[in-house]
Structure formats: C-alpha cells, structure tokens
Amino acid sequence: MLCQKKEARVHLTDVKEGKVKKVDLCEDCAKAKNIEDPAGFALADLLLGLGASEELTSGATEGSPLVCPHCGFTQADFKKTGRLGCPACYETFKDGLLGMLKTMHKGNRHCGKVPRGLALGREVQERIQGLQRSLEQAVATEDYEQAARLRDEIKALKENPGAVMAG
C-alpha cells in the first residue's frame, strides 16, 4: 500500500479489531488508488472490502438518499466510518446490507445463541399452538371436560409463561 519512495501526503487511519493501523500514501499512490480526497475516501471499503460503500446505496432510490429515521445516519456516514449508527440502521439499509453480509459471512441467517427471554418466547408459542390444536379437537369430539382443562392451561401459559414452562 505504501511505496516509501516519496513523502506521504495522504494519511488514513484504519481501525480494525481494536488495532489502529496508519496508512500513509504519497500523492502518486493515492491517485493510483483513486484516493485523491482523503475525506471522501471510503473507510468502509478499507474495512469491509472494496465496493462495500457502494453496496449500501443499492437500497436507495434515485435522488433520495436513505436516512435512518431513528438516528439520522446516512449512507455517506457509513462510507466514511464503515460503521452503522444505531440498531435500526440494519432495517433502514437492509437491502444494501444483505448483499454485503453475504460476501463477508458464512450465511445470511443467525444460527447461534438466542437471549433466554426470546428463546422461551418461541417455546411457549409453540406449546400454545399445540394446545390450541388439541382444544379444537376436543371440542370437535365434544369432550368438554378435556376442552375446559386445555383452555385453563392455555390461559395460564399466556399469563405467566415462565412459571408454567419451568414447572
């Protein structure tokens, strides 16, 4: 990246993985790399691979740049920093991000740890759906005693999912 033949005029700071790497380029090298204006240089490209900063704009329609309604972050900000502004930015820039994520990760869907509260939510929901099917069946077969028991169980599960699941 640096020829070390001429005095460096363009100085960039690449912060990756907590390590600060200074990138110094002479004017010729900077021109060759199309980085004449260091302020306009896409740190996103340096951090995330060439083309990353362009990718994010793909969700924007002609003439109306995307702005995150939650935090005011724009794709120009992303281009500059290589970072997003707030969690809602993932929704705002979704179209552009998905393509980018595909190139940098193994898959496009999370398949790791889930916060316990959410994991419980899914389990409870599945259980409720199962009970509801049984309830319909019980009503269809006119087993009202069983239906009443199932209805109570569903009600308890909805009101206090943690206690019922633990018990």
Q: Is there binding between residue 117 and another protein (CB under 8 A)?
A: yes
**Closer of 21 and 155 to another protein (Cβ):** 21
**Binding partner of residue 26 among Zn ion, another protein, none, CB cut-off 5 to 8 Å per kind:** Zn ion
Stretch that binds Zn ion, among 14-22, 31-39, 66-74, 142-150 (CB under 5 A): 66-74
From candidates 39, 64, 110, 140, binder to another protein by CB under 8 A: 110
105/133 with CB nearer another protein: 105
101 binds another protein (CB under 8 A): yes
User: Could you tell which of another protein, Zn ion, none binds residue 114, using a CB distance below 5 to 8 A set by kind?
Assistant: another protein
Residue-by-residue DSSP string for 125-164: HHHHHHHHHHHHHHHHTT-HHHHHHHHHHHHHHHH-HHHH
10, β-bridge pairs: 25
88 binds Zn ion (CB under 5 A): yes
Residues in the chain: 167
Query: Considering the rule CB under 8 A, would residue 112 count as an interface residue with another protein?
Result: yes
Would you say 8 or 131 has its CB closer to Zn ion?
8
Side-chain-side CA neighbours of residue 144 (13 Å): 0
Give the long-range contacts of residues 56-64, CB within 8 A, separation 24 or more: 56/93, 56/96, 56/97, 56/100, 57/96, 58/95, 58/96, 58/99, 59/93, 59/94, 59/95, 59/96, 60/96
Q: Are 78 and 84 in contact (CB under 8 A)?
A: yes
CB of residue 154 to another protein, shortest distance in Å: 24
Q: Which residues bind Zn ion (CB under 5 A)?
A: 3, 26, 29, 68, 70-71, 73, 85-86, 88-89
